[in-house]
């Protein structure tokens, strides 16, 4: 599994986390939030993008993403649950890394590509419950920019 930085290119999970920690150390007085969100696009197959964003609150952000292709999934419900499970998988890896490096003070937030408008509104309770039950804060549209903007940009 590798991640892509738009500025640096391909990197391992460990290299991505080292880059995130370097970004934090470059302005250690600032406040940070780590955001993870996934989105998908169906064509001949389903392309899933999981984005990891390090947000320097009020001062910008950097992001990384990984791409995963799966068989064609027509069911929106199935795709949303799969997107969420991918975000939780990466979220768990990030949280473990932060805990092992003594930085579990950093908040990890999962952004879900669902909202109160549209076809996904019936999934909110289940999917948000899945994220919160895994120990993460959950955001839905319009506050889920990690999924709806960053991951979406690379899923097309």
Digit-coded pLDDT (tens) for 60-97: 999 999 999 999 998 999 999 999 999 999 999 999 99
pLDDT of residue 74: 87
Domain spans of the chain, in order of start: 3-155
**8-state DSSP, 69:** E
How much is the pTM?
A: 0.95
Q: Report the alpha-carbon distance of residue 52 to residue 16 in Å, rounded.
A: 9
**pLDDT higher than 80, residue 156:** no
Work out the percent of the chain whose per-residue pLDDT is above 70.
100
pLDDT, mean over the chain: 95
| DSSP assignment of 120-138 | GGGGHHHHHHHHHHTT-EE
pLDDT of residue 85: 98
pLDDT of residue 128: 97
Exposed/middle/buried for 72, CB within 10 Å: 0-12, 13-18, 19+?
A: exposed
At 34, phi and psi to the nearest 5?
A: -105, 125
Question: What mean pLDDT is predicted for residues 50-57?
Answer: 97
- pLDDT, one tens digit per residue, over 106-135 is 999 999 999 999 899 999 999 999 999 999
């Amino acid at each position: 599994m590798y991640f892509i930085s738009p500025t640096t290119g391909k990197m391992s999970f460990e290299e991505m986390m080292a880059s995130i920690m370097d970004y934090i150390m470059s302005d250690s007085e600032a406040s940070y939030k780590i955001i993870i969100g996934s989105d998908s696009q169906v064509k001949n197959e389903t392309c899933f993008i999981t984005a990891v964003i390090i947000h320097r609150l009020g001062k910008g952000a950097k992001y990384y993403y990984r791409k995963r292709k799966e068989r064609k999934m027509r069911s929106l419900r199935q795709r949303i649950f799969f997107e969420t499970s991918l975000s939780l998988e990466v979220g768990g890896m990030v949280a473990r890394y932060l805990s092992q490096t003594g930085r579990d003070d950093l908040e990890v937030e999962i952004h879900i590509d669902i909202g109160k408008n549209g076809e996904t509104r019936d999934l909110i309770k289940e999917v948000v419950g899945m994220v919160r039950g895994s120990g993460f804060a959950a955001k839905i549209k319009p506050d889920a920019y990690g999924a709806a903007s960053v991951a979406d940009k690379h899923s097309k």
